[in-house]
Amino acid sequence: MMHEQLADIVAERFVTRPPELQIDLTPGLQREETILETRGLSVWYGGFQALRDISLAVPGRRITAIIGPSGCGKSTLIRCFNRMNDLIPGFRVEGELLFEGRNIYGRGIDPVDVRRRIGMVFQKPNPFPKSVYENVAFGARVNGYVGKLSEIVERALRRAALWDEVKDKLRQNALALSGGQQQRLCIARALAIEPEVILMDEPCSALDPVATLKIEDLMRELAERYAIVIVTHNMQQAARVADYSAVMMMAEDRAGEMIEFGPTRQVFTTPKEKRTEDYITGRFG
């Protein structure tokens, strides 16, 4: 039953999408330009291997979902893309992670520069305890952007579909906003530094269904400009929003592996792997 629901969601979405977004999915991977790519990426935390040999290509201006059961390394993988894992003691990486052709774990690459071009939105909304305005202006301030700060703030808030709701309370503390508004503020904050990729680590898991739908609509709009990578434990969400889906599983030794990657429609309707089918039909995970 689960399977049929997901297939319905996928079918409905791909039929009702505007023609310019109708992608010819089979040759899609070749045609679309890859913006982020991992090649044989393995990750360790101390002696524990968290990811093994992950190879995947994230296309620009598309939404790529990473799904899989809890503990399979989805968050670890997405946090590799902007080197957030560098902050964790004992973190070690092997393999390559190419961003526009350059290995971001290579010699002489400053993680600060990486993060300025690859934005991130977290599981729980984490606005700074400052005003709405200062939250959005933060990235511009630390990155020394030139230009009128108020224009940058307004543009980012408009793109995050939050401007109309907060334009009269820019000086109020961001913590006074609702959870969904806080999360869109965090998206606006990430957009303000004009990144090329936006990573979203379960961005809706702390939100109610209405706020979740708003964020999903927003993601579809943002995908016209940015590459989006989203981690989600919610398969319906992946089916609703993602152009491509990667399915991860935990191996025997608890290291995360990627077992399937492809256009969302194909992953959900005609998976290549038996384990993917078992997972999306709810037989485990």
Partner 1 sequence: MGVTDIEAVGPASRIRPRGPLEARLRHGREAAIHGVLFLCAFVSIFTTLAIIATLLEETIGFFGEVSIIDFLTDTKWIPGLGGGPGGLEPHFGILPLLSGTLLVAAGAAVVALPVGLLTAIFLSEYAPEWLRGIVKPILEVLAGIPTVVLGFFALTFVSEDIIKVLFPETKIFNAASAAIVVGIMIIPMVSSLSEDAMSAVPRSLREGAYALGATKLEVALRVVVPAALSGIVASFILAISRAIGETMIVTLAAGATPNLTWNPLDSIQTMTAYIVQVSLGETAQGSLGFRTIFAVGMTLFVMTLTLNVISQYLLHRFREVYE
**Min separation Cβ 129 and partner 1, Å:** 5
| For partner 1, the closer CB: 122 or 268 | 122
| For partner 1, the closer CB: 175 or 251 | 175
Please name which of 89, 154, 159, 147 lies closest in space to residue 119, comparing C-alpha atoms. 159
Give the range of 29-37, 164-172, 186-194, 218-226 binding partner 1 by CB under 8 A.
Answer: 186-194
Chain residues 165-184 in contact with partner 1, contact rule CB under 8 A: 175
> Quick check: 147 binds partner 1 (CB under 8 A)?
no
CA angle 170, 142, 96 (to 5 degrees): 120
Residues 129, 175: contact at Cβ < 8 Å?
A: yes
**Min separation Cβ 80 and partner 1, Å:** 13
Residues 236, 5: contact at Cβ < 8 Å?
A: yes
DSSP class per residue in 160-205 = TT-HHHHTT-TTSBGGGS-HHHHHHHHHHHHHTT--SEEEEESTTT
Near partner 1 by CB under 8 A: residue from 22, 26, 143, 172? 143
**Min separation Cβ 103 and partner 1, Å:** 19
CA atoms within 13 A on the CB side of 95: 19
Q: Which residues contact 54 (CB under 8 A, 6 or more apart)?
A: 38, 40, 41, 42, 77, 95, 256, 257, 258
**Min separation Cβ 188 and partner 1, Å:** 11
**Min separation Cβ 126 and partner 1, Å:** 4
Please name which of 35, 48, 54, 47 lies closest in space to residue 94, comparing C-alpha atoms. 54
Ramachandran angles phi, psi of 119, nearest 5° = -80, 165
| For partner 1, the closer CB: 2 or 176 | 176
x/- mask, partner 1, residues 70-89, rule CB under 8 A, reads ------------x-x--x-x
**Min separation Cβ 201 and partner 1, Å:** 10
Near partner 1 by CB under 8 A: residue from 59, 139, 203, 271? 139
CA angle 80, 63, 211 (to 5 degrees): 95
- Cα separation, 191 vs 137, whole angstroms: 11
* Size of interface with partner 1, in residues (CB under 8 A): 27
* Residue given tokens 């709810």 in the structure block: 282
CB atoms within 10 A of CB 136: 32
| For partner 1, the closer CB: 29 or 109 | 109
Chain residues 191-210 in contact with partner 1, contact rule CB under 8 A: 193
x/- mask, partner 1, residues 95-134, rule CB under 8 A, reads -----------------xx-xx--xx-x-x-xxxxx----
List interacting residues with partner 1 (CB under 8 A).
82, 84, 87, 89, 112-113, 115-116, 119-120, 122, 124, 126-130, 138-139, 141-143, 175, 186, 189-190, 193
